[in-house]
Every structure is written in C-alpha cells, then in structure tokens.
C-alpha cells in the first residue's frame, strides 16, 4: 500500500503541482493509516455547522497530505476546527463518543446508498442511520462501500463475502502451493512459503515489508476484525494469526496462535505452541508463552539480535527461491 500511495501521489504532483508529505509512509512504530477518525470529524462538523463542512474537509486534507499532520489523532482533528465557530473541547469529547463513531460509520453507509466509492460526509442529502454496526477501532475506509453491503447487526447476518484480487508487491516471493485470496496486501520482499493460506473475505489482511510467512501458516480475518501484520515479522511453521494485530519485528513461534483482536507489541515473541486469547496484548520486546499466553519476561539483547538475524536469513532464502521459482515450468 505504501508503494501504491507514493507512486500515486508522485503522479498527482506531476500533473497538478500539489505537494505531498510522504514521510508517514516510512513510520515503523505501528502507526496505521486509519481514515475513520477524520471521517467522524467531518460528519460531526456537518452536524454542528453544515456550511463549514467543505472548508473543514479541505483543511483536514491539506493538513495530512501537505503538512504531514496525524489525522488519526482526535486532538489534531479538534485543533483543525480553529477557524470555525466550534468549541474545541466539546468537539474533542464528541469525537471520542460512541455517537461520534456511529455517525462516521453512517457517512460510509450513506456513500453506499448514493453510489460513492468512498466517504460522503460532504454530501448534503439526508442520512439514514442504521443500527450501530461498528466495533471500536475498526477502519472501514479501506473498503469501497458499494462493494461491501453491510448488514444490520440485528439481522444476525454477516456482510456479503467479497474476494477481490490480492495486491502483492512485485518484489515479494510467493511459493507454489501457497493460497492467497481476497482483500490481501503484501509488501516488498515478503516471503510466503509452501502451504501457507492467507485469505480475507469479510475484512482485510495487510502484511508489511520483509516479513516471512512460513510453511502451512494461516492468516484470516473476521467481519470488522482485520489481520494486520507489520514489517520484518516472522510467522513460524503452522502458526495461526486470526484477526490479530502483529507489530513490526514480532516473532510468532511454530504452531502458535493469535486470535481475534489480540495485539502483539513491537519486537515481542509469542512462544511455540502458545495461544494468545482474543483481545489480549503482549507488550513490546516481551516473551509470552502458554495457553492462554501470558508475558513472562523481557527479551534479552541476544534474543532480539537472533530474531533480526532470522529475518535476514529468510530474506536471503527468498532470493534463492526467487531464482529457483523463475526456472520452474
């Protein structure tokens, strides 16, 4: 995704002269380009001061693309109302409320109703609010609403499955016998080994750069529960990552499992055979083990180096296999 955005913005700059600050694409601190907070903010401005909606939307766009400000931060979004007749403290509180999130989701659903392929918060036609379908922290902005028909929760049904073509960086190495389907993004120099299954029908899976997904590993997601994997991650043989967030530099041992909404902090290890239960967290640079997995101690400097060396080893293996695969009939 980072490569796609960078190339896209270079093309726009060449055609229009509009500058872009792309420094955020190089962040390695687990930051996620989540447009839902900004969508909530635009919808809230529309409710408070409708004539100012387009001006605020333009301010948010310029703050992010030209000034490099973090529009996933509610404090920044509140600060950007400075030129409007809006109380910033009250605005901030409403941004963080359940109603604020519900309104933001409604904006995307309105887009679906009106045929848009994105957020429609500046359209002045009436919204038809659904029963609250969102879960905290979910980012719908990566989907085209007109392709994902969201169901009311009360119906007890999931959204219709959608299996688009995966976006795989040309420098990634994908082994024969692996299976990758649906809304999947794989970064540069990532190595997917034999028998791995990566599929996303109801939400998304993103995998960063220089990550290795070893033999027979499984990555999957649920509705509103994406599977997000960072850079230089090792996912061991037969491991399962299901709807979890795996930050940069993590090592997941052989046969280990991380379940829905679990989060493994930067550089942490989930020991072989362990099970990280739903919603549980492992702090950065920590060893966790057991079923259910719990943090047991900080990693040593030697262990941190070993994990880094292991990633470099798989990068070398990827190039060896790249050449081998090029010779296959």
Domains of the chain, residue spans: 32-155, 167-318
Question: In terms of C-beta distances under 8 Å and separation of at least 24 residues, what long-range contacts does 261-269 make, across chains too?
Answer: 261/225, 264/288, 265/30, 266/29, 266/30, 266/230, 267/299, 267/304, 267/307, 268/299, 269/299, 269/303, 269/307
137-171 burial: b if 16+ Cβ within 10 Å, else e: ebbbbbbebeebebeeeeeeeebeebeeebebbee
Query: In this predicted structure, what is the pLDDT of residue 70?
Result: 84
Residue 302 has pLDDT above 90, yes or no: yes
Q: Tell me, yes or no, if the pTM score tops 0.95.
A: no
Angle at 51 between CA 50 and CA 53, to 5 degrees: 65
Query: In this predicted structure, what is the pLDDT of residue 205?
Result: 96
pLDDT digits (tens, 9 = 90+) for 76-104: 998 998 888 888 888 888 877 765 555 55
Q: Which residue has the tokens 């027979």?
A: 216
Query: In this predicted structure, what is the pLDDT of residue 27?
Result: 61
Query: In this predicted structure, what is the pLDDT of residue 2?
Result: 58
Higher-confidence residue: 109 or 171?
171
Q: Which CATH number fits domain 167-318: 2.160.10.10, 3.40.50.10680, 1.20.1080.10, 1.10.10.10?
A: 2.160.10.10
Region 268-283 average pLDDT: 97
Angle at 296 between CA 290 and CA 297, to 5 degrees: 145
- Of 230, 231, 268, the C-alpha closest to 252 is 268
Query: In this predicted structure, what is the pLDDT of residue 65?
Result: 76
pLDDT digits (tens, 9 = 90+) for 155-176: 455 667 778 899 999 999 999 9
Lowest mean pLDDT among 76-85, 208-217, 224-233: 76-85
Query: In this predicted structure, what is the pLDDT of residue 233?
Result: 97
d(C-alpha 179, C-alpha 188), whole Å: 18
Burial class (CB in 10 A: 0-12, 13-18, 19+), 67: exposed
Query: In this predicted structure, what is the pLDDT of residue 152?
Result: 31
Confidence bin at 179 (pLDDT 50/70/90)? very high
Element (H, E) at 180: strand 179-186
Query: In this predicted structure, what is the pLDDT of residue 284?
Result: 96
Confidence bin at 64 (pLDDT 50/70/90)? confident
Region 299-315 average pLDDT: 96
Lowest mean pLDDT among 9-23, 262-276, 280-294: 9-23
d(C-alpha 247, C-alpha 255), whole Å: 19
d(C-alpha 56, C-alpha 62), whole Å: 10
Higher-confidence residue: 213 or 157?
213
pLDDT digits (tens, 9 = 90+) for 123-161: 444 433 333 333 333 333 332 323 333 333 334 556 677
Query: In this predicted structure, what is the pLDDT of residue 50?
Result: 81
Query: In this predicted structure, what is the pLDDT of residue 35?
Result: 72
The structure tokens listed for 324 are 């081998």
- Of 157, 92, 100, the C-alpha closest to 129 is 100
d(C-alpha 43, C-alpha 92), whole Å: 13
pLDDT digits (tens, 9 = 90+) for 9-55: 677 777 777 777 667 666 656 666 667 788 888 888 887 888 888 88
32-155 with 167-318: one CATH topology? no
Query: In this predicted structure, what is the pLDDT of residue 240?
Result: 98
Residue 196 has pLDDT above 50, yes or no: yes
Taking only Cα atoms into account, the Rg of the chain, rounded to an integer number of angstroms, comes to 21
Q: Measured in whole angstroms, how far is the alpha carbon of residue 244 from the centre of its chain?
A: 10
Homologous superfamily of the 32-155 domain (CATH): putative protein disulfide isomerase domain (1.10.472.60)
Cα separations (Å) of 71 from 5, 49, 60, 84, 147?
Answer: 16, 20, 7, 17, 26
């Amino acid at each position: 995704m980072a490569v796609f955005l960078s190339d896209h913005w270079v093309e726009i700059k060449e055609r229009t002269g509009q500058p872009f600050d792309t420094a955020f694409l190089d962040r390695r601190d687990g930051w996620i380009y989540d447009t839902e907070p900004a969508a909530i903010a635009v919808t809230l401005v529309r409710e408070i001061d409708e004539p100012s909606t387009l001006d605020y939307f333009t301010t948010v766009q310029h703050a992010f693309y030209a000034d490099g400000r973090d529009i996933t931060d509610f404090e920044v979004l509140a600060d950007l109302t400075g030129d409007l007749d809006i109380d910033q403290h009250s605005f901030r509180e409403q941004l963080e409320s359940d109603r604020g999130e519900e309104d933001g989701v409604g904006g995307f659903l309105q887009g679906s109703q009106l045929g848009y392929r994105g957020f429609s918060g500046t359209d002045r036609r009436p919204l038809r609010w659904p029963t609250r379908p969102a879960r905290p922290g979910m980012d719908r902005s990566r989907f085209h609403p007109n392709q994902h028909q969201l169901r009311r929760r009360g119906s007890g049904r999931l959204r219709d499955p959608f299996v688009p073509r995966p976006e795989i960086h040309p420098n990634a190495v994908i082994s024969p016998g692996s299976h990758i389907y649906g809304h999947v993004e794989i970064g540069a120099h990532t190595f997917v080994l034999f028998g791995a299954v990566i599929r996303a029908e109801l939400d998304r899976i993103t995998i960063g750069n220089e990550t290795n997904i070893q033999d027979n590993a499984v990555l999957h997601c649920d509705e509103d529960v994406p599977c997000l994997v960072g850079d230089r991650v090792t996912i061991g043989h037969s491991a399962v990552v299901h709807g979890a967030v795996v930050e940069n530099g993590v090592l997941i041992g052989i046969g280990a499992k991380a379940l829905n909404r679990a989060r493994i902090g930067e550089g942490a290890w989930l020991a072989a055979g362990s099970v990280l239960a739903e919603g549980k967290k492992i702090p950065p640079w920590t060893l966790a083990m057991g079923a259910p997995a719990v943090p047991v101690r900080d990693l040593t400097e030697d262990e941190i180096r070993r994990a880094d060396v292991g990633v470099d080893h798989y990068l070398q293996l990827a190039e060896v296999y790249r050449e081998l695969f090029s010779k296959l009939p």
